[in-house]
Amino acid sequence: MDTRLLRAFVALARTGSFTAAATELHLAQSTVTVQIRSLERELGTRLFDRLPAGTTPTPSGRRLLEEAERVLDAEARLRATAAAGNGAGVDGAVEGQVALGAGESLCSSNLPRVIASLRRTHPGVDVHLHAAGTAAAVEGLHSGRLDLVLLLEPEIEAADLVARPIAYEPLVYVAAPGHRLAGRGAGWQELADESFFVHEEGCSYSDRLVRSLLALPGARPRLTRFGSIEAARSCVAAGLGLTLLPQATVERQLRDGLLARVDGPPMPPVPVQLTRHRRRWTSPAGQLVADELTRLIGPESAPLGR
């Protein structure tokens, strides 16, 4: 069986659109249409329902999708093994592309030095960094768009994902330097009278803060959610309220005097979970990225399991 047909099948199932699948595969839409029809003839079953709003896998398509992914995974493993045996790359060095997903705070603080280190030591490994919240990152692993993700979450509940904490990120309350709470302590009841600018719903530490504030008797905190940490940080720096963020995302602003700490109620540090799909093979390039993430972000941890 031509694995190009399987790649078209998986791409169409993931995107739900012939146009999007063609763009992802760098093919003409008509080519993807022909490939799907050829695969359906070869397998003797209809894989997709064609609807006005797009395509959706049929029951047969859903059953066969996982098997198609297994075949493509086996092909990738075979090619990598053959390349290693042939000494692919400069002096047999590992080469390949790795799609890495992470939250905005990690993308802006921890990951640039990891990527810079990889470029020095393994120039053939190309890391494509995707800023994504928890839900989008998990979906990316499920769909195959992402190879590895870093999640700021206490637990990863998806049974088909493997996750292990490689570091713990401390959280800090911050306000503008001129805010009445800047540089001093505040309890929950005092914080409940403030405006808070927090990260979008689904962010574990922001959700915990919101639950704690709303649980106070008679509390009516003013809460604004943002999809961008930069937006929350900017509102706080302008003196509009407070926020709770990973320390790494505000270190420069604290050092430059743009923000000030508030000594609020303790919040547990957030685990940085290095996560992959349980059933998918981690390529040599992916393993190098995982090892470097572990070394530079969590030096006490072992490499991500293969």
Q: What would the pLDDT profile of 55-110 be if each residue is shown by its tens digit?
A: 999 999 999 988 888 888 787 777 766 665 544 554 567 788 899 999 877 887 77
Residues 185 and 243 in one domain: yes
Can you tell me the distance from the alpha carbon of 277 to that of 86, in angstroms, rounded to the nearest whole number? 28
Residues 61 and 99 in one domain: no
What is residue 91's predicted lDDT score, i.e. its pLDDT? Answer: 53
Residues 255 and 290 in one domain: no
User: What are 34-57's pLDDT values in tens digits?
Assistant: 999 999 999 999 999 988 888 999
290 lies in some domain:
yes
What is residue 159's predicted lDDT score, i.e. its pLDDT? Answer: 80
For the record, the structure tokens of 126 come out as: 């190309």
Which one, of 169, 167, 102, 168, lies nearest residue 298 by Cα?
167
What is residue 305's predicted lDDT score, i.e. its pLDDT? Answer: 41
Domain range for 23:
3-83
What is residue 84's predicted lDDT score, i.e. its pLDDT? Answer: 58
What is residue 82's predicted lDDT score, i.e. its pLDDT? Answer: 67
CATH number at residue 182: 3.40.190.10
89 lies in some domain:
no
Query: What angle do the packed helices 18-25 and 29-43 form, to 10 degrees?
Result: 100
Intervals of the chain under pLDDT 70 = 80-92, 299-306
Burial of 136 (0-12, 13-18, 19+ CB in 10 A): middle
217 lies in some domain:
yes
What is residue 254's predicted lDDT score, i.e. its pLDDT? Answer: 94
Cβ proximity of 56 and 65 under 8 Å: no
R_g of the chain computed on alpha carbons: 23
Residues 160 and 201 in one domain: no
What is residue 163's predicted lDDT score, i.e. its pLDDT? Answer: 93
What is residue 58's predicted lDDT score, i.e. its pLDDT? Answer: 94
Instruction: Look at the pTM and tell me if it is higher than 0.85.
Output: no
37 lies in some domain:
yes
Residues 165 and 224 in one domain: no
For the record, the structure tokens of 119 come out as: 């470029």
Residues 203 and 239 in one domain: yes
